[in-house]
Amino acid sequence: MKKILLLFILNSMTLASSYPYRSSVINKGAFQFDFGVLYSVTGAAFDSEGTEVELEEETGYQLIDSSVRIDYGFNPNLQLGADVIFRQLESETTTDVISSSGIESFAVHAKYEGKGSRKNKYAFELSYRMTAYSNEYYLNRSDIPVSDDVNLGDDGQSILLSFLYDRVISRASHLEFSLAYHLPPNDLSAEIPYSLAYVYKGQTIAFAGGVEGIYSLGLDEFEQNPGDKPVSDFGVTSRYNSINRELMSVFGRLNLKLSNKYLLSGKVSQVMSGVSTDKATNFLVSLTYNAGGTSSSQTFENKFKEYSTEATIIKVSPRGVFFKLDKGLSSDVVKGARADIYKSDYFGENVLLGSGFIYESGPDWSIVKVVKKFKRLPIEKGYTVRIK
């Protein structure tokens, strides 16, 4: 029975790894690589009034975005990163099929994780993106020259400031929320991207489902006279050069933890409503590799890993703040000494649960007061306390 209970505890400890909190940063000194492929296909369009408009027969638009992102754990609260996107697209009219490809954009990122709490976790992320191309614009569509390719997207620079929040429900589930302020490229109106999802996670598999979208602040200068806006060749799509674009989509995500370093993820989303954009279906597959770095508990443990003696917990207070040990002054366990609590088990695991100090000491006993916990596990009778 004890072995079964220990196995359950070990599984619970690794639940979060199959779906890391979006508000968390990687460990200090760690490198993380993300490789993603997004396939998006347009099924219809939404006009400036939000009315769905069917595409003409034998026409269509689809794209593939391949991305590579690298992040570095600068310190325990700050993560820095950069990415590049390569885009391939195909626009089909009733008379021709035109393909275009090339590097779409580069971006740099910085994420800061706030202090938060066990139940509420948050972070801020700032991203700056610049396209690798520039488009030609014309006053009238008839002025657009005949070409063998179409634009890759909206050109220019963009800035995105995001607030990321996770609300922990239980060891196996949490709510994931984000709200951002976006200054898009191509002089489009400022907008508010958002997302809300419910996450259920197991030891190696995690599921998430929710909604995400864009709310426009309605600042486009051509809102009252859309016919005056300069045009360019984007193909059979309404997702670019839009006026006060908005959209709302539903999505589902599946994560599979391949090992302690590799995470495979798949996401499917469908745009349900929108303004001046496409009704698109999106499929995303990504692989994440994380290596190196040191967690805060590991840093603490390495710093204080030389101990003078160790004892065993023989009694736990009702609130779990004070613990009685089986050693005292006769074993050089003196008042005020640093004490670290470890969980050892049949499997040879040695996990640092928390730290404190010797609150009181007698001839063959002592009392420990815990001041900091590193794991969301109860400290129990029989656990080891190592004393500095």
Q: What is the 3-state secondary structure (H, E, C) of the chain?
A: CHHHHHHHHHHHHCHHHHCCCCCCCCCECCEEEEEEEEEEEEEEEECCCCCEEECCCCCEEEEEEEEEEEEEEEECCEEEEEEEEEEEEEEECCCCEEEEEEEEEEEEEEEEECCCCCCEEEEEEEEEEEECCCCCCECCHHHCCCCCCCCCCCCCEEEEEEEEEEEEEECCEEEEEEEEEEECCCCCCCEEEEEEEEEEECCCEEEEEEEEEEEECCCCCCCCCHHHCCECCCCCCCCCCCCCCEEEEEEEEEEEECCCCEEEEEEEEEEEEEECEEEEEEEEEEEEEEECCECHHHHHHHHCCCCCEEEEEEEECCCCCEEEECCCHHHCCCCCCEEEEEEECCCCCEEEEEEEEEEEECCCCEEEEEEEECCCCCCCCCCEEEEC
**239 confidence band (pLDDT: 50, 70, 90):** very high
Confidence of residue 263 (pLDDT cuts 50, 70, 90): very high
Whether 84 shows a pLDDT value over 60: the answer reads yes
pTM of the shown model: 0.75
Place of tokens 């864009």: 214
Measured CA to CA, the distance from residue 295 to residue 17 in angstroms comes to 13
pLDDT value of position 95:
86
Q: How far apart are CA 369 and CA 356, in angstroms?
A: 5
The pLDDT assigned to 149 comes to 85
pLDDT tens-digit series, residues 30-78: 999 999 999 999 999 999 899 999 999 889 999 999 999 999 999 989 9
Q: Name the token pair of 380.
A: 């129990």
If one compares 348 and 355, the residue with the highest pLDDT of the two is 355
pLDDT of 11 above 80? no
- pLDDT-derived band at 16 (thresholds 50, 70, 90) equals very low
pLDDT of 2 strictly over 80? no
Which whole number is the average pLDDT over 2-29? 61
Distance CA 35, CA 83 (A): 10
pLDDT, position 47 = 92
Q: What pLDDT, on a 0 to 100 scale, did the predictor assign at position 21?
A: 93
Q: Give 2 or 83, the one with higher predicted confidence.
A: 83
What is the model's pLDDT at position 276?
A: 95
Whether 15 has a pLDDT exceeding 60, the answer reads no
Answer whether residue 145 shows pLDDT above 90: no
CB neighbourhood size of 370 (10 A): 19
* The pLDDT of residue 12: 35
Given a cut of 50, whether residue 346 has pLDDT beyond it is no
